[in-house]
A and B are shown apart, each in its own frame.
Chain A
Amino acid sequence: MKVKARLNKFYRVNPNGVACNKSSLKKLRNGEVVELSEDVANELLNMGFVEPVKNKPKKKKESK
Protein backbone atom coordinates (compact mmCIF):
# COMPACT_ATOMS: atom_id res chain seq x y z
CA MET A 1 0.00 0.00 0.00
CA LYS A 2 1.31 3.43 -0.91
CA VAL A 3 1.18 6.02 1.85
CA LYS A 4 2.56 9.42 2.66
CA ALA A 5 3.03 11.06 6.03
CA ARG A 6 0.75 13.66 7.53
CA LEU A 7 3.72 15.87 8.23
CA ASN A 8 2.05 17.93 10.96
CA LYS A 9 1.42 14.67 12.87
CA PHE A 10 4.24 12.38 11.83
CA TYR A 11 6.97 13.93 13.95
CA ARG A 12 5.37 12.33 17.03
CA VAL A 13 5.91 8.76 15.80
CA ASN A 14 7.95 6.72 18.23
CA PRO A 15 10.39 5.05 15.79
CA ASN A 16 10.88 2.09 18.11
CA GLY A 17 7.17 1.62 18.60
CA VAL A 18 6.04 1.00 15.04
CA ALA A 19 6.73 -1.85 12.66
CA CYS A 20 7.89 0.46 9.87
CA ASN A 21 11.61 0.16 9.08
CA LYS A 22 14.02 3.04 9.53
CA SER A 23 14.60 3.81 5.86
CA SER A 24 10.87 4.01 5.16
CA LEU A 25 10.35 6.19 8.22
CA LYS A 26 13.05 8.53 6.98
CA LYS A 27 11.44 8.77 3.55
CA LEU A 28 8.05 9.41 5.10
CA ARG A 29 9.52 12.14 7.28
CA ASN A 30 10.90 13.73 4.12
CA GLY A 31 7.44 13.80 2.60
CA GLU A 32 7.99 11.00 0.10
CA VAL A 33 5.38 8.48 -0.99
CA VAL A 34 6.39 5.04 0.29
CA GLU A 35 5.11 1.58 -0.57
CA LEU A 36 4.58 -0.42 2.65
CA SER A 37 3.16 -3.84 3.40
CA GLU A 38 -0.51 -3.88 4.37
CA ASP A 39 0.22 -4.58 8.05
CA VAL A 40 2.77 -1.83 8.43
CA ALA A 41 0.71 0.69 6.50
CA ASN A 42 -2.46 -0.13 8.43
CA GLU A 43 -0.70 0.36 11.75
CA LEU A 44 0.38 3.86 10.73
CA LEU A 45 -3.03 4.59 9.21
CA ASN A 46 -4.80 3.57 12.43
CA MET A 47 -2.50 5.81 14.40
CA GLY A 48 -3.39 8.69 12.12
CA PHE A 49 0.19 9.34 11.06
CA VAL A 50 -0.12 8.65 7.33
CA GLU A 51 -2.70 8.82 4.60
CA PRO A 52 -3.14 6.49 1.65
CA VAL A 53 -2.01 7.56 -1.79
CA LYS A 54 -4.16 6.41 -4.65
CA ASN A 55 -2.60 5.64 -7.98
CA LYS A 56 -3.83 8.01 -10.62
CA PRO A 57 -5.47 6.16 -13.49
CA LYS A 58 -3.29 6.23 -16.58
CA LYS A 59 -4.71 8.24 -19.39
CA LYS A 60 -5.12 6.25 -22.55
CA LYS A 61 -3.67 7.83 -25.60
CA GLU A 62 -6.33 8.66 -28.08
CA SER A 63 -5.86 6.81 -31.32
CA LYS A 64 -5.52 9.08 -34.25
Chain B
Amino acid sequence: MADTRVLPVSGVKYGLKAETSFGVALDSSGADGTAYHTQPVVQVEKPTFNILRESRLLSGRGSIKNAEDTITNTRGGTITMPFDMVATPRTLAQHLLLVGQESGYSSGVHETEFDGSSNADSIGGSISSGMPHSANLAYYPAAGEGIKLCGVVCSDLSISGDVGANNGLISMSGNYFSGFSTKDIATSSCLEQTFDGTWVAGETQHFNVMDADVRTLDVEGNATQTFIMKSFSFNIANGVNRVGFDTNGNAELYAFPEYVITGSLVIKYDDLFDYSAGTNVIQDFLDGDTMSLAIKIGDGTISSEGELNILAEIQYTGDPSQDLSESGVFHSLEFECVQNGSTEALKISTFKNEAPDAF
Protein backbone atom coordinates (compact mmCIF):
# COMPACT_ATOMS: atom_id res chain seq x y z
CA MET B 1 0.00 0.00 0.00
CA ALA B 2 1.26 3.45 -0.83
CA ASP B 3 2.31 5.70 2.01
CA THR B 4 -0.03 8.58 2.94
CA ARG B 5 2.56 10.79 4.56
CA VAL B 6 2.64 14.41 3.38
CA LEU B 7 5.57 16.71 3.94
CA PRO B 8 4.19 20.27 4.14
CA VAL B 9 6.37 22.87 2.43
CA SER B 10 6.54 24.72 5.73
CA GLY B 11 7.57 21.52 7.47
CA VAL B 12 11.09 21.92 6.14
CA LYS B 13 13.51 24.26 7.86
CA TYR B 14 17.14 25.13 7.49
CA GLY B 15 19.69 26.68 9.76
CA LEU B 16 23.23 28.01 9.79
CA LYS B 17 25.98 27.93 12.37
CA ALA B 18 29.42 29.47 11.95
CA GLU B 19 32.23 26.96 11.56
CA THR B 20 35.33 26.90 13.70
CA SER B 21 37.33 24.90 11.18
CA PHE B 22 36.91 25.15 7.43
CA GLY B 23 34.61 22.48 6.07
CA VAL B 24 34.43 20.49 9.29
CA ALA B 25 31.13 19.53 10.92
CA LEU B 26 30.54 21.15 14.30
CA ASP B 27 29.04 17.92 15.61
CA SER B 28 29.78 14.66 13.85
CA SER B 29 28.92 12.31 16.71
CA GLY B 30 25.84 10.83 15.08
CA ALA B 31 22.78 13.01 15.61
CA ASP B 32 23.88 16.63 15.26
CA GLY B 33 23.17 18.54 18.49
CA THR B 34 24.32 21.90 17.16
CA ALA B 35 22.07 24.85 18.02
CA TYR B 36 21.50 25.99 14.46
CA HIS B 37 20.07 29.44 13.80
CA THR B 38 16.79 29.00 11.95
CA GLN B 39 16.67 31.12 8.81
CA PRO B 40 13.43 33.08 8.31
CA VAL B 41 12.47 31.83 4.87
CA VAL B 42 8.99 31.05 3.60
CA GLN B 43 9.97 28.11 1.40
CA VAL B 44 13.23 26.26 1.78
CA GLU B 45 14.81 25.05 -1.42
CA LYS B 46 16.79 21.83 -1.40
CA PRO B 47 20.58 21.78 -1.76
CA THR B 48 21.79 20.58 -5.15
CA PHE B 49 24.80 18.26 -5.48
CA ASN B 50 26.74 19.22 -8.59
CA ILE B 51 28.94 16.18 -9.03
CA LEU B 52 30.51 14.34 -11.90
CA ARG B 53 28.25 11.92 -13.73
CA GLU B 54 29.40 10.64 -17.05
CA SER B 55 26.98 8.46 -18.96
CA ARG B 56 28.65 6.81 -21.92
CA LEU B 57 27.72 4.68 -24.84
CA LEU B 58 30.80 2.52 -25.20
CA SER B 59 31.86 0.74 -28.29
CA GLY B 60 30.51 -2.76 -28.53
CA ARG B 61 27.36 -1.92 -26.53
CA GLY B 62 25.18 -1.57 -29.59
CA SER B 63 22.65 1.22 -29.77
CA ILE B 64 21.84 1.75 -26.08
CA LYS B 65 23.89 2.68 -23.04
CA ASN B 66 24.79 -0.03 -20.59
CA ALA B 67 24.25 0.49 -16.85
CA GLU B 68 27.79 -0.61 -16.03
CA ASP B 69 29.36 2.14 -18.12
CA THR B 70 28.13 5.13 -16.12
CA ILE B 71 30.70 6.84 -13.91
CA THR B 72 29.58 8.83 -10.84
CA ASN B 73 32.06 10.67 -8.68
CA THR B 74 31.21 12.96 -5.73
CA ARG B 75 34.84 14.08 -5.39
CA GLY B 76 35.66 17.49 -6.73
CA GLY B 77 32.07 18.63 -6.89
CA THR B 78 30.12 21.48 -5.38
CA ILE B 79 26.83 21.88 -3.57
CA THR B 80 24.64 24.93 -4.11
CA MET B 81 21.40 26.09 -2.56
CA PRO B 82 19.36 29.24 -3.22
CA PHE B 83 17.80 31.35 -0.48
CA ASP B 84 15.34 34.23 -0.33
CA MET B 85 14.20 35.91 2.88
CA VAL B 86 13.31 39.14 4.60
CA ALA B 87 16.53 40.43 6.14
CA THR B 88 16.96 40.41 9.92
CA PRO B 89 19.88 41.80 11.92
CA ARG B 90 21.80 38.54 12.29
CA THR B 91 20.99 37.11 8.89
CA LEU B 92 22.06 40.27 7.09
CA ALA B 93 25.31 40.59 9.03
CA GLN B 94 26.11 36.90 8.62
CA HIS B 95 25.36 36.72 4.90
CA LEU B 96 27.42 39.85 4.28
CA LEU B 97 30.32 38.08 5.99
CA LEU B 98 29.76 34.90 4.01
CA VAL B 99 29.81 36.77 0.70
CA GLY B 100 32.26 39.54 1.59
CA GLN B 101 34.75 37.52 3.65
CA GLU B 102 35.53 40.63 5.64
CA SER B 103 34.62 41.41 9.20
CA GLY B 104 34.70 44.60 11.14
CA TYR B 105 32.91 44.04 14.43
CA SER B 106 32.90 46.26 17.48
CA SER B 107 30.32 46.69 20.22
CA GLY B 108 27.42 45.29 18.27
CA VAL B 109 28.21 47.09 15.02
CA HIS B 110 28.98 44.84 12.05
CA GLU B 111 30.74 46.63 9.22
CA THR B 112 31.46 44.90 5.93
CA GLU B 113 33.67 46.72 3.45
CA PHE B 114 34.38 45.99 -0.17
CA ASP B 115 37.55 47.83 -0.96
CA GLY B 116 39.85 45.60 -2.96
CA SER B 117 42.17 44.85 -0.06
CA SER B 118 40.16 43.93 3.04
CA ASN B 119 38.21 41.08 1.48
CA ALA B 120 39.85 37.66 1.56
CA ASP B 121 41.24 36.34 -1.74
CA SER B 122 41.03 32.82 -0.38
CA ILE B 123 39.94 30.91 2.71
CA GLY B 124 40.86 27.56 4.17
CA GLY B 125 42.16 25.96 7.34
CA SER B 126 41.15 26.94 10.83
CA ILE B 127 39.29 30.10 11.73
CA SER B 128 41.59 32.28 13.75
CA SER B 129 40.22 35.79 13.51
CA GLY B 130 36.76 35.14 14.88
CA MET B 131 35.30 35.79 11.49
CA PRO B 132 33.02 33.04 10.21
CA HIS B 133 34.67 32.34 6.89
CA SER B 134 32.16 29.58 6.42
CA ALA B 135 29.27 27.83 8.10
CA ASN B 136 27.57 24.50 8.63
CA LEU B 137 24.16 24.39 6.98
CA ALA B 138 21.39 22.05 8.14
CA TYR B 139 18.56 21.28 5.72
CA TYR B 140 15.95 19.47 7.74
CA PRO B 141 12.70 17.92 6.54
CA ALA B 142 12.51 15.29 9.29
CA ALA B 143 14.57 13.09 11.61
CA GLY B 144 17.00 10.94 9.68
CA GLU B 145 16.26 12.85 6.47
CA GLY B 146 18.41 15.94 6.91
CA ILE B 147 21.25 17.11 4.73
CA LYS B 148 24.29 18.68 6.33
CA LEU B 149 26.52 20.92 4.28
CA CYS B 150 29.95 22.01 5.49
CA GLY B 151 32.22 24.77 4.24
CA VAL B 152 29.24 26.89 3.23
CA VAL B 153 29.76 30.43 1.96
CA CYS B 154 27.60 32.70 -0.18
CA SER B 155 28.59 32.95 -3.81
CA ASP B 156 26.27 35.93 -4.31
CA LEU B 157 23.95 38.07 -2.28
CA SER B 158 21.29 40.54 -3.35
CA ILE B 159 19.95 43.13 -0.94
CA SER B 160 16.91 45.07 -2.02
CA GLY B 161 14.24 47.40 -0.76
CA ASP B 162 11.13 48.69 -2.47
CA VAL B 163 8.53 50.98 -0.94
CA GLY B 164 5.89 49.15 -2.96
CA ALA B 165 6.81 45.58 -2.09
CA ASN B 166 7.03 43.52 1.09
CA ASN B 167 5.66 46.49 3.06
CA GLY B 168 9.01 48.16 2.44
CA LEU B 169 10.95 45.47 4.27
CA ILE B 170 14.50 44.90 3.09
CA SER B 171 14.89 41.46 1.59
CA MET B 172 17.88 39.43 0.58
CA SER B 173 18.46 36.49 -1.69
CA GLY B 174 21.34 34.60 -3.20
CA ASN B 175 23.04 31.25 -3.30
CA TYR B 176 25.04 29.15 -0.88
CA PHE B 177 28.12 27.34 -2.11
CA SER B 178 30.07 24.42 -0.70
CA GLY B 179 33.06 22.59 -2.11
CA PHE B 180 32.56 19.69 0.30
CA SER B 181 30.56 17.39 -1.92
CA THR B 182 31.95 14.05 -0.77
CA LYS B 183 29.13 12.93 1.45
CA ASP B 184 30.58 9.77 2.95
CA ILE B 185 32.96 11.55 5.31
CA ALA B 186 31.80 11.41 8.91
CA THR B 187 33.15 14.84 9.76
CA SER B 188 31.82 16.76 6.79
CA SER B 189 28.79 17.02 4.49
CA CYS B 190 26.37 14.14 4.85
CA LEU B 191 22.88 12.86 4.07
CA GLU B 192 20.29 11.16 6.28
CA GLN B 193 21.23 13.34 9.21
CA THR B 194 19.19 13.98 12.34
CA PHE B 195 19.54 17.45 13.82
CA ASP B 196 18.36 17.19 17.42
CA GLY B 197 19.92 20.31 18.90
CA THR B 198 17.84 23.18 20.22
CA TRP B 199 17.46 25.34 17.16
CA VAL B 200 17.49 29.08 17.75
CA ALA B 201 14.29 30.67 16.50
CA GLY B 202 14.43 33.15 13.64
CA GLU B 203 14.69 36.81 14.56
CA THR B 204 11.70 39.09 14.58
CA GLN B 205 13.26 42.50 13.92
CA HIS B 206 13.55 43.73 10.36
CA PHE B 207 14.75 46.64 8.25
CA ASN B 208 12.24 48.93 6.56
CA VAL B 209 13.25 51.03 3.60
CA MET B 210 10.76 53.66 4.70
CA ASP B 211 12.92 54.25 7.78
CA ALA B 212 15.69 55.58 5.55
CA ASP B 213 16.14 59.06 6.96
CA VAL B 214 19.21 59.70 4.81
CA ARG B 215 19.02 59.14 1.05
CA THR B 216 21.61 61.10 -0.84
CA LEU B 217 23.38 60.89 -4.18
CA ASP B 218 25.84 63.15 -5.95
CA VAL B 219 24.70 64.61 -9.23
CA GLU B 220 27.24 66.39 -11.43
CA GLY B 221 28.95 69.00 -9.24
CA ASN B 222 26.37 68.82 -6.47
CA ALA B 223 27.26 66.50 -3.63
CA THR B 224 24.85 64.59 -1.40
CA GLN B 225 21.57 65.66 -2.93
CA THR B 226 18.55 64.14 -1.25
CA PHE B 227 16.44 61.93 -3.49
CA ILE B 228 12.98 60.45 -3.21
CA MET B 229 13.39 56.72 -3.57
CA LYS B 230 11.16 54.06 -4.99
CA SER B 231 13.53 51.13 -4.74
CA PHE B 232 17.13 50.05 -4.55
CA SER B 233 19.09 46.84 -4.95
CA PHE B 234 22.67 45.71 -4.60
CA ASN B 235 24.03 42.46 -5.95
CA ILE B 236 27.35 41.22 -4.58
CA ALA B 237 29.12 38.28 -6.22
CA ASN B 238 32.51 36.96 -5.16
CA GLY B 239 33.14 34.42 -7.94
CA VAL B 240 33.98 31.69 -5.42
CA ASN B 241 35.80 28.63 -6.77
CA ARG B 242 36.83 25.50 -4.95
CA VAL B 243 40.54 24.79 -5.25
CA GLY B 244 42.46 21.57 -4.74
CA PHE B 245 41.30 18.43 -3.00
CA ASP B 246 42.03 16.69 0.27
CA THR B 247 42.25 12.93 0.77
CA ASN B 248 38.46 12.73 0.50
CA GLY B 249 38.19 14.84 -2.63
CA ASN B 250 36.82 17.83 -0.77
CA ALA B 251 38.11 21.37 -1.33
CA GLU B 252 41.37 22.45 0.25
CA LEU B 253 40.46 26.09 -0.08
CA TYR B 254 38.15 28.51 -1.81
CA ALA B 255 39.41 31.29 -4.05
CA PHE B 256 37.57 34.59 -4.48
CA PRO B 257 39.01 36.07 -7.68
CA GLU B 258 36.81 39.16 -7.98
CA TYR B 259 34.15 40.88 -5.95
CA VAL B 260 31.64 42.33 -8.38
CA ILE B 261 28.98 44.69 -7.05
CA THR B 262 26.19 45.99 -9.23
CA GLY B 263 22.89 47.55 -8.39
CA SER B 264 19.99 49.72 -9.33
CA LEU B 265 18.30 52.74 -7.84
CA VAL B 266 14.91 54.13 -8.81
CA ILE B 267 14.48 57.77 -7.78
CA LYS B 268 12.04 60.51 -8.64
CA TYR B 269 12.65 62.98 -11.46
CA ASP B 270 12.67 66.40 -9.79
CA ASP B 271 14.62 69.62 -9.64
CA LEU B 272 17.59 67.91 -7.97
CA PHE B 273 17.78 65.04 -10.45
CA ASP B 274 16.65 65.96 -13.93
CA TYR B 275 18.08 66.73 -17.39
CA SER B 276 19.12 70.35 -16.78
CA ALA B 277 22.56 71.86 -16.32
CA GLY B 278 24.18 70.92 -13.05
CA THR B 279 21.60 68.29 -12.08
CA ASN B 280 21.67 66.10 -15.16
CA VAL B 281 21.81 62.38 -14.47
CA ILE B 282 22.48 61.65 -18.15
CA GLN B 283 25.53 63.90 -18.02
CA ASP B 284 26.86 61.87 -15.09
CA PHE B 285 26.66 58.74 -17.24
CA LEU B 286 28.19 60.36 -20.34
CA ASP B 287 31.01 61.93 -18.30
CA GLY B 288 31.76 58.66 -16.50
CA ASP B 289 31.37 60.33 -13.12
CA THR B 290 31.79 58.48 -9.85
CA MET B 291 29.09 59.42 -7.35
CA SER B 292 28.66 58.81 -3.65
CA LEU B 293 25.42 57.11 -2.69
CA ALA B 294 24.17 56.94 0.89
CA ILE B 295 21.12 55.13 2.21
CA LYS B 296 20.83 55.15 5.98
CA ILE B 297 17.96 53.32 7.62
CA GLY B 298 17.54 54.88 11.03
CA ASP B 299 19.09 58.08 12.28
CA GLY B 300 22.53 57.27 10.89
CA THR B 301 24.01 56.12 14.20
CA ILE B 302 24.16 52.34 14.18
CA SER B 303 23.22 51.38 17.72
CA SER B 304 19.99 49.40 17.60
CA GLU B 305 18.54 46.52 15.64
CA GLY B 306 16.87 47.47 12.38
CA GLU B 307 19.39 50.18 11.53
CA LEU B 308 21.44 49.93 8.38
CA ASN B 309 23.92 52.25 6.71
CA ILE B 310 24.81 51.70 3.06
CA LEU B 311 27.57 53.82 1.55
CA ALA B 312 28.59 53.20 -2.04
CA GLU B 313 30.75 54.75 -4.74
CA ILE B 314 28.90 54.20 -7.98
CA GLN B 315 29.23 54.70 -11.70
CA TYR B 316 26.25 54.37 -14.01
CA THR B 317 26.57 51.41 -16.34
CA GLY B 318 24.07 52.66 -18.86
CA ASP B 319 22.08 55.66 -19.94
CA PRO B 320 19.61 56.26 -17.10
CA SER B 321 16.27 54.92 -18.25
CA GLN B 322 12.86 55.95 -17.05
CA ASP B 323 10.41 54.22 -14.79
CA LEU B 324 6.96 55.53 -15.71
CA SER B 325 4.08 55.26 -13.29
CA GLU B 326 1.12 57.18 -11.94
CA SER B 327 3.54 58.70 -9.45
CA GLY B 328 5.32 60.44 -12.30
CA VAL B 329 8.62 59.92 -14.04
CA PHE B 330 11.36 58.16 -12.09
CA HIS B 331 15.00 57.59 -13.07
CA SER B 332 16.06 53.96 -13.19
CA LEU B 333 19.78 54.15 -12.47
CA GLU B 334 21.79 50.99 -13.10
CA PHE B 335 25.25 51.14 -11.56
CA GLU B 336 28.32 49.30 -10.43
CA CYS B 337 30.32 49.99 -7.30
CA VAL B 338 33.96 50.99 -7.67
CA GLN B 339 36.77 51.74 -5.25
CA ASN B 340 37.25 55.52 -5.32
CA GLY B 341 40.66 56.45 -3.92
CA SER B 342 40.48 55.52 -0.26
CA THR B 343 36.69 55.35 -0.23
CA GLU B 344 35.26 51.86 -0.24
CA ALA B 345 33.29 50.65 -3.24
CA LEU B 346 30.62 49.54 -0.80
CA LYS B 347 30.39 49.68 2.97
CA ILE B 348 27.44 48.28 4.88
CA SER B 349 27.01 48.70 8.62
CA THR B 350 24.34 47.13 10.76
CA PHE B 351 23.68 46.31 14.41
CA LYS B 352 23.47 42.95 16.15
CA ASN B 353 24.84 42.67 19.65
CA GLU B 354 26.47 39.32 18.92
CA ALA B 355 30.02 38.60 17.77
CA PRO B 356 30.39 36.95 14.35
CA ASP B 357 31.81 33.74 15.77
CA ALA B 358 28.52 33.26 17.64
CA PHE B 359 26.52 33.33 14.41
Contacts and interface: CB of A to CB of B under 8 A. Distances in A.
Give chain B's interface residue range (CB within 8 Å of chain A). Answer: 10 to 19
Interface string B298-313: 1100011111000000
A12 B205 contact: yes
A48 B204 contact: no
Contacts of A47: 205, 304-305, 353
Given A8-B299, A9-B304, A48 B206 contact: no
Interface in A13-64: 13-14, 16-18, 46-49
Q: Which residue, B108, B304, B351, has most C-beta atoms of chain A within 10 A?
A: B304
Given A47-B353, A48-B108, A48-B351, A12 B204 contact: no
A3 to B, nearest CB: 13
Interface in B222-257: none
Q: Which residue, A6, A12, A48, has most C-beta atoms of chain B within 10 A?
A: A48
A8 to B, nearest CB: 5
Interface residues of A, number: 13
Contact of A49 (B108, B204, B208, B305): B305
Interface string B175-217: 0000000000000000000000000000111101001000000
Contact of A9 (B108, B298, B353): B298
A59 B165 CA distance: 56
B203 A46 contact: no
A5 to B, nearest CB: 10
Given A8-B299, A9-B298, A47-B353, A14 B206 contact: yes
A6 B303 CA distance: 10
Given A14-B205, A16-B204, A17-B204, A48 B305 contact: yes
A18 B307 CA distance: 17
A48 B353 CA distance: 8
A12 B304 contact: yes
Interface string B344-359: 0000000101000000
Given A6-B304, A9-B298, A12-B211, A46 B204 contact: no
A46 B353 CA distance: 6
Contacts of B208: 12
A46 B206 CA distance: 15
A15 to B, nearest CB: 10
Given A6-B304, A14-B205, A48-B303, 5 more contacts: A9-B298, A12-B205, A12-B305, A13-B205, A17-B203
7 contacts: A9-B298, A12-B304, A12-B305, A13-B205, A14-B206, A16-B204, A48-B353
